[in-house]
Structure 1
Amino acid sequence: MIQTKLIDSDLVAWTIQQRRHFHMHPELSGQEFKTAAYVKEKLTGFGIPIDSRFSAPNVVAFFKGSEGNKTIALRADMDALPLHEEGDNKPYISTVPGVMHGCGHDGHTATLLAAAKWMSENPHLVKNNIVLIFQSSEEASPSGAQQLVKEGVLDGVDAIYGIHYLSGMPLGKIGFATGYAMASSDDFDITIEGTGGHGGYPHQTVDPIYIATHLIQAFQSVVSRSLNPLHAGVISFGGMQAGNSYNVIPEKVTLQGTIRAMSFDGAELMHKKTAQLTESLCASFGAKGHYHFIEGTPPLYNHPEACAVAKDIIVKSFGEDVFLEKDPVMGAEDFSYYLKEKTGAFINVGMQSEKSQYPHHHPKFDIDEAAIPAGIELMIQLALNA
């Protein structure tokens, strides 16, 4: 277990208690009103004022530092997933059927609350102003981060940091990828309108299934022949709906898929190329192709200057051997909206162990609470030293 300097066992126990409360009472994206009310109650009890300018169920609070020359934002996400939790041996299993904290947001919320509690008890040590962001809707669209940015949550902020407890990273390690760290995540719907008919007379039809096979193949050329080979990208089809008869060529086919890119330019190019291919390829076969782009989250870019500060804090707080430089991943995270506007970094706190052996978004996922002390200490050190 990582050794901590600023926090004691009482704060750790309190944080675990809060985390288990959130775990037992999960709420889906955009519906975190009871969670928000609980967070507000705790912050008010700490004497930290709530900023009422921001849309519910988001909760934003402002801690005034003793000097206030810099303003640091710290973010935690509050939403749960539409999963039915498995694991009867948990004393804190979800009490809401079909909803569970399967990604660690209960831990993030409890950790940021713990940092707020510590700051309220040690105000003389906190020189920076701190914006505490308890965000709704990380797991769903529209993004809670995007909404808060539009509402001005980063106005006056010098840098922003967030953490994520990670089951795929060893317990006892803390780290991140510098630069592009996570991919964009956008979706698309495609409808191909052809001319249906008898399976024995295909020459009298415009077969949308046959056209769809060409379109699926052609989309892969965007990654292999249009995208810069040094910029990672993925296009995956996840759904296809067509006819339901052996010998009837349907009139219409619908496709669904996702686009992931590891750069802003790559995401824009892939969107443009897939739209063009849909229209032109379908037209070449005499069909109509309708492309609907569903904007998701941009790539997550960890600013090198903020990463240098974060690494220095991690090494000085926990030791050189704790820091782990990570590779970028094609997963997505709406913290990217904050980093698109302000300098900052998104940091992973490892918790891979027997207790946290299942991946995120798995019905048996759980946080190894042995990682929580490091998460609290990291949040506090970022508040003090970022």
Structure 2
Amino acid sequence: MKNREELQTLSAWAIKHRRYLHQYPELSGEEHKTNEYIKRIITGLGLEILDFPHPSLVAFLPGTKGSKTIALRADTDALPVHEEGEKAGYISKVPGVAHVCGHDGHTAILLAVAKWMSENHESIVHNVKFIFQSSEEISPSGALELVNAGVLEDVDAIFGIHLWQGLKKGSVGLTHGPMMGSSDDFEIVIEASGGHGSLPHETIDPTYIASHLIQSYQAIVSRQINPVDPSVISIGKIEGGTNYNIIPSTVTLSGSMRAVKTDTRDFIKKRILEQTNGICASFLATAKVEFIDGTPPVVNDSTESMFVEKVITEHLGANVFSLVDVVMAAEDFSFYLNERPGAFIFVGMNGEKSQYPHHHPKFDLDEEVFESAIHLFIKIVQQYPSD
């Protein structure tokens, strides 16, 4: 950047677009108007739009030497949440849909980066791909769709940011390795033999069996996995029965599982299946177990993450960098990192403006951190080594 005033002007431009996007959120896979909005801006900047699955949009800026290709990614989808709180005139105008994770900010920031790079093309050595990705919040993932479509075939490294409420405002951080957990769901249907609540001995009670399964799953985490290896199993839904005095014939458990290592992720699946079948068999019941694969763990490439740390300390300030703790929230940026080296970065914004956690109805971005995010993306591309 030439000066701080230029960065402030660019940030204000991004905030204007973020507030528009915030008012017109679209759910995963339905970001058609968002795509058109991005397309108008990108076309006006003179960037090439590449042929990738709609409603994602991928733009390309050739470097002045074209020695390498760096990809920068933003996500575009909103959530099925009815927004609450004071939003200074930019609250969602779509009932039951809101940008309560920050994707509107990510999109606006990447648009601002594209604007600056197109206007200062002479300072951009490497080719740059700008990935505006649909469907981060659901499975199948928009990132996986783009990877399968070849978005990374000519890419040397990829970087992404997340405006992060869990990190204090003024900090920018990452890890040099595992950073975020995998996310997979499961559904277990216990099939037994119900009957009258006064005659339990004449039944095989799936509700009672379910209680044993829930307890046993926690033993996977607490007694079968190394305590320093983060993992989570949570039952979010229990469904069964029609009346207080009737023992049902089936009970369904729905839950999620998270890990930061791929082998731990696989181990949890294996043990859930084995324990479910074993416990159900011991009570003369059976079970159907279905796993719904989600996203793998986010694991930063240590070489690229060390490079980002150097960029942060040199251009944002040594006191800005934070080595963050692993979080068990998931991000489909992991699909990119499975294919190419890169790093995912948290831009902290925890403070008075951003008090509520991601996905909360009152969640809001602190737009003052946009300057840091824009500056960081630009410097990552400019400082990326040529050899």
What does residue 375 of structure 1 align with? 373
Kindly provide the CA deviation profile for residues 4-39 of structure 1, in whole angstroms up to 9, marking residues without a partner as x: 759433212211111111111111110001111111
What is the aligned residue count?
383
- Residue identity matched to 1:39: I
SS of structure 2 residue aligned to 1:8: helix
Q: 1:149 to 1:340 in 2, by over 3 A?
A: same
Could you state the TM-score of these two structures normalised by the residue count of structure 2? 0.96
Q: Distance in 1 between matches of 2:111 and 2:30?
A: 20
What does residue 15 of structure 2 align with? 16
Q: For the Cα contact (< 8 Å) 1:175–1:323, is it kept in 2?
A: yes
SS of structure 2 residue aligned to 1:321: coil
Kindly provide the CA deviation profile for residues 104-144 of structure 1, in whole angstroms up to 9, marking residues without a partner as x: 11110000000000010011100011111000011111110
What does residue 348 of structure 1 align with? 346
Kindly provide the CA deviation profile for residues 77-121 of structure 1, in whole angstroms up to 9, marking residues without a partner as x: 000111111124521111111111101111100000000000100
What does residue 34 of structure 2 align with? 35
Q: For the Cα contact (< 8 Å) 1:29–1:139, is it kept in 2?
A: yes
Q: For the Cα contact (< 8 Å) 1:7–1:377, is it kept in 2?
A: no
Q: Distance in 2 between matches of 1:47 and 1:251?
A: 63
CA RMSD of aligned residues (A): 1.4
SS of structure 2 residue aligned to 1:231: coil
SS of structure 2 residue aligned to 1:277: helix
Kindly provide the CA deviation profile for residues 338-362 of structure 1, in whole angstroms up to 9, marking residues without a partner as x: 1111111100111122111111111
Note the C-alpha offset of 1:370.
0.7
Q: Does 1:157 find its partner at 2:155? A: yes
Write out aligned runs for 1:249-260 (5 A).
249-260=247-258
Q: For the Cα contact (< 8 Å) 2:190–2:252, is it kept in 1?
A: yes
Write out aligned runs for 1:227-238 (5 A).
227-238=225-236
Q: Distance in 2 between matches of 1:164 and 1:347?
A: 6
Q: Does 1:200 find its partner at 2:224? A: no
Q: Does 1:321 find its partner at 2:319? A: yes
Note the C-alpha offset of 1:280.
2.0
Q: For the Cα contact (< 8 Å) 1:234–1:259, is it kept in 2?
A: yes
Q: Does 1:144 find its partner at 2:142? A: yes
Q: Distance in 2 between matches of 1:38 and 1:349?
A: 25
Q: 1:291 to 1:346 in 2, by over 3 A?
A: same
Q: Distance in 2 between matches of 1:128 and 1:222?
A: 47
Q: Distance in 1 between matches of 2:4 and 2:273?
A: 54
Q: For the Cα contact (< 8 Å) 2:7–2:375, is it kept in 1?
A: no
Kindly provide the CA deviation profile for residues 195-233 of structure 1, in whole angstroms up to 9, marking residues without a partner as x: 111222222111111111111111112112322333111
Q: Identify the range of structure 1 (218-227 vs 267-276) with the bigger mean alpha-carbon deviation.
A: 218-227
Q: For the Cα contact (< 8 Å) 1:231–1:262, is it kept in 2?
A: yes
Q: Distance in 1 between matches of 2:340 and 2:86?
A: 43
